[in-house]
């Protein structure tokens, strides 16, 4: 007998605002001139990866700015004010893990 394998889809459904319209930003077609945010989950090496990736995104793909914020621990969610700041300023946000 084969063991059961359960797969989880990590994508979340779009949320609706109070007015009924989607609060998600439209898809972007390129990175030139965009602002990219990183949420560092405080695991070892993600900060180094985010630094290198941020430099690469700016030099090769024309990203205008990179914003990095660090969570106090991998076991807690990012603070609401960090989420609010990044969603207000960034076109793309990458939440990462490193070890």
- How much is the CA Rg of the chain, to the nearest whole Å? 16
The pLDDT score that the predictor gives to residue 23 is: 56
pLDDT in tens, 58-79: 999 999 999 999 998 888 888 9
Residue whose C-alpha is closest to residue 90's, from 60, 54, 56 = 54
**pTM greater than the 0.75 cutoff:** no
Is residue 20 pLDDT above 80, yes or no? no
Cα 45 to Cα 29, 59, 88: the distances in Å are 29, 21, 27
């Amino acid at each position: 007998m084969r063991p059961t394998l359960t797969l989880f889809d990590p994508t979340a459904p779009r949320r609706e605002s109070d007015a009924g319209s989607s609060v998600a930003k439209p898809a972007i077609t390129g990175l030139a001139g965009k602002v990219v945010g990183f949420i560092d989950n405080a695991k070892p090496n993600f900060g180094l990866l985010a630094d290198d990736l941020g430099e690469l995104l700016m030099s090769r793909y024309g990203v205008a700015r990179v914003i990095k914020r660090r969570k106090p621990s991998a076991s807690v969610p990012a603070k609401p004010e960090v989420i609010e700041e990044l969603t207000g300023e960034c076109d793309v946000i990458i939440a990462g893990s490193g070890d």
